[in-house]
Amino acid sequence: MSRFAVADMHGIHAILYALFDDNERLDRGAMRRQVELCLGVGVHGMAALGLATEASKLTDAERRMVMDWIAEDTGGKVPLALTIFGASVAEQIAQVRHAESVGADWLILQPPMVGQYGAAEYIRFFGRVAEATDLPVAIQNAPAFMGRGLSATEISDLVRQHPNIQLVKGEGPVVDIAGLVEATGGKLPIFNGRAGLEMLDNLRIGCRGLILAPDCIDYAVAAYDAFVCGDEEEALLHYRKMLPAVVSTMQGIEHLMAYGKRLFALRAGLVVHDRAPALRPNAVGLAMMERFNADLGPLQRRAKDAREYRGRTIVTES
């Protein structure tokens, strides 16, 4: 059972990068440090095993290990979402069981990355996995990045058929997400991503928040906290500060792994080692990340004071 009500899930949630050592093994210390930094800047939730975590490069055992680590390091401080990756219903349900066992608060279902099928097949697939758990479930709808997705109407139908499918993790432009908000009557909590592109407009159309890799997450948290308390001028200042880096790194998922991960590492004092196959950064891109790092500074809490959101206090003291 989730420790957090869906109604209380909001804000900026960090989706972890997969950090490897120089032998291409998952680096326990670096992964722990990543969680500590994200919690330290005031994220409203934690997540792992999505596209940023390179779940397709991880073995089944490694995905379970990441679940164990993030649950231990988050310690129930904020809601924890785990993305479920797998090529079959049985494989995904096995991942669901492990996520439940470590204390996940909600699950994000990805379409199986095998074949190309019609919407009805994906709706049946998602429904069978969702029926296997009592946890709140979200659908990851990222057709631009995954080559598979559902329309706003199809997602609305899926939600009606399966009551515990209660959220959507989108990866799309505001104009498309607005259609989903309309199709669901504004009743379905939606978290967008895309590294924070169009962040404030996502909030204006009714997104509950964003799930972002941690390279600029301190500025995103500060922008969100300012926005929800009505200070759009302050929110815009923080958003403008992060935007050049966001535009540069969000040129595609492999580009984000090559450059966004390195920007995070620069700001966090860590070192990046890729797991092959990978897009290798070039000198021009690395120089850009160095400039962004110099402009953004180390990861740190940037919000000013305690803020109210729908009756609960978000503690954001410096």
Binding residues: 211
Nearest alpha carbon to residue 248 among 262, 235, 260: 260
Residue 257 CA to residue 53 CA, distance in Å, equals 9
Q: How far is CA 132 from the centre of its chain?
A: 23
169 membership: H or E segment, kind and range: strand 165-170
Contacts with 189 (C-beta within 8 Å, 6 or more apart), sequence order: 6, 9, 10, 166, 167, 168, 208
Which letter does DSSP use for residue 281 in this model?
Answer: P
DSSP 8-state code for residue 20: B
List binding-site positions for pyruvate: 211
Closest CA to 27 of 259, 261, 193: 261
